[in-house]
Amino acid sequence: MRGTRAVIHLDNLQNNILEIKKFLAPKTKLCVAVKANAYGHGAVECARTALACGADFLAVAAVDEGLELRKARIKAPVLLLSLCSPDEVDAAVRNNLTPLVFDEEYISLFAEAAGAAGKKSYPVHLAVDTGMGRIGCEPHEAGKIARAVADTGALCVGGICTHFAVSDEVSTKSRDFTGTQFRLFEQAIKSVEAQGIDPGIRHCCNSAATIDHPEFHLDMVRPGIIVYGYYAEEISKEYLEKKGTPLNLKPVMTLQTVVSAVRHFEEGKSAGYGRTWTAGVPTDIAVLPIGYGDGWARRFALNGIPVSINGKEYPVRGRICMDQCMVDVGSDAANGIVRRWDKVILFGAKEDGALQTADDVAKLTGTISYEITSCITSRVPREFIGGRQDTGPRNKDKRA
């Protein structure tokens, strides 16, 4: 296998789901977001592990993502969180993907497809916009839209949902906004019931709300990022500990590569495109076969992002190329601490010797962990360990 790879710790994923379950009442359903290839971690493997840990639903953004799960013979209900195109509706229905709907045109597309596929009472979930400003009907329209769904004959209201915009922020202003969103959602639910229609599964909580607002769980929660081992912004490890509801998350992905060469640089020799870095003193540069074509983004170098080799940090020098980058190992090659073919950890789990997580990389580079892991490209092979497929020593350890 290529030296550059993403190791996916399915046992850490399992740990995270069991930790999340501590926050849920026994009858609260769990919908795990596996969109964007499970935030870059591998949708099918993560979905299987999540279902084995008791997840009830999966959530994807695109019809193709849903089809990938179905091709892998995953039978669990799959929510389609984003809107699809008219030409995808037939495939969505044939594969029993559950769309979020909120307007009559989209509802009739699904009604027609359900009719053509000979399906009766095909479940759709009603999306309500209570303040996210993305998809969903206005709260006061929910009853009318639910009526439109029921009147198609081919569809039924299987659930109703909304999405929070600032549930990962702890300021009073943000908490008030989330509270207002929840109350608007309750009103929408009532307006559906007033039509004599059962709203079905009521759900609104993303990761942050799942762990910070148990009172908003209703019938199901939809966490994503915490499943993969990262705290949701201000709902941090420390915040939760202080609150008396600790949550022990473990990063699922370790991004690693190898030292493909060590080169001696005399003073004045520059590294890479644009010659943005020049050795001020003689040093050794390790060449790594990873670059922005792998998701190790070009802008990461702006802050001289560190990588770890044998438990020690070294800064990236010069621009990150598409396929390679260079790190300064100082005198550590000469003194034998860094050797050719040594493993390099860019971010990841402690057990792999990582000194930083994807969240740390995100903070250094002005983004969020979501973007760091989901942008690891398909060129990087995912190596799954600690799960059911694992026959390696880690699994044997567990049985012993």
What amino acid positions are annotated as catalytic residues? 35, 273
Distances (CA, A) of 396 to 53, 67, 252, 385: 20, 34, 19, 12
When the beta carbons of 203 and 317 are compared against ligand PLP, the nearer one is 203
Residues 6+ apart with CB under 8 A from 134: 163
| 3-class DSSP assignment, residue 324 | coil
Considering the complex, state which of residue 81 and residue 301 has its C-beta at the smaller distance from ligand PLP.
81
Per the CB < 8 A criterion, the answer to whether 235 and 211 are in contact is yes
Nearer to ligand PLP, 232 or 247 (CB): 232
The span from the CA of 257 to the CA of 344, in Å, is 5
User: Which residues lie below 8 Å from residue 118, measured CB to CB, with a gap of 6+?
Assistant: none
Q: For the packed helices 142-151 and 172-193, what is the interaxial angle rounded to 10 degrees?
A: 40
Least separation in angstroms between residue 111's CB and ligand PLP is 23
Please report how close the Cβ of residue 392 comes to ligand PLP at its closest, in angstroms. Answer: 29
**Residue with structure tokens 């030409």?**
87
**155 forms bridges with which residues in the sheet?**
122
Q: From 111, 70, 104, 121, select the one nearest 90 (Cα to Cα).
A: 111
Rounded Cα distance between 51 and 17, Å, is: 10
Taking the least distance from each CB to ligand PLP, the nearer of 163 and 202 is: 163
50 and 34 Cβ atoms separated by less than 8 Å: yes
Closer Cβ to ligand PLP, 8 or 327, answer by number = 8
Question: In this complex, which beta carbon is closest to ligand PLP, that of residue 233 or of residue 352?
Answer: 233
- Residue 106 host element (H or E): helix 104-116
Of 57, 384, 386, the closest CA to residue 223 belongs to: 57
Nearest-approach distance from CB 294 to ligand PLP, in angstroms: 23
Q: Which residue is nearest to ligand PLP (CB)?
A: 224
Please give the angle made by the CA atoms of 146, 150 and 156, to the nearest 5 degrees: 90
For residue 191, give Cα distances in angstroms to 129, 188, 199, 238: 14, 5, 10, 39
Shortest Cβ 224–ligand PLP spacing (Å): 3
Q: Which is nearer to ligand PLP, 30 or 307 (CB)?
A: 30
CA distance 280 to 300: 22
- CA-based radius of gyration for the chain: 24
Using the minimum distance from each CB to ligand PLP, give the nearer residue, 174 or 260. Answer: 174
Terminal Cα-to-Cα distance of the chain (whole angstroms): 28
C-alpha 336: how far from chain center: 38
C-alpha span between 352 and 92 (Å, rounded): 39
In the complex, the residues that contact ligand PLP under the rule CB under 6 A are 33, 35, 81, 163, 206-207, 222-225, 232
Dihedral sign for Cα atoms in the order 201, 206, 210, 213: negative
Query: Minimum distance between the CB of residue 208 and ligand PLP, rounded to whole angstroms?
Result: 6
**Cβ at position 100, least distance to ligand PLP in Å:** 8
Return left, alpha or beta for 153; rule: phi > 0 is left, psi -120 to 50 is alpha, else beta: left
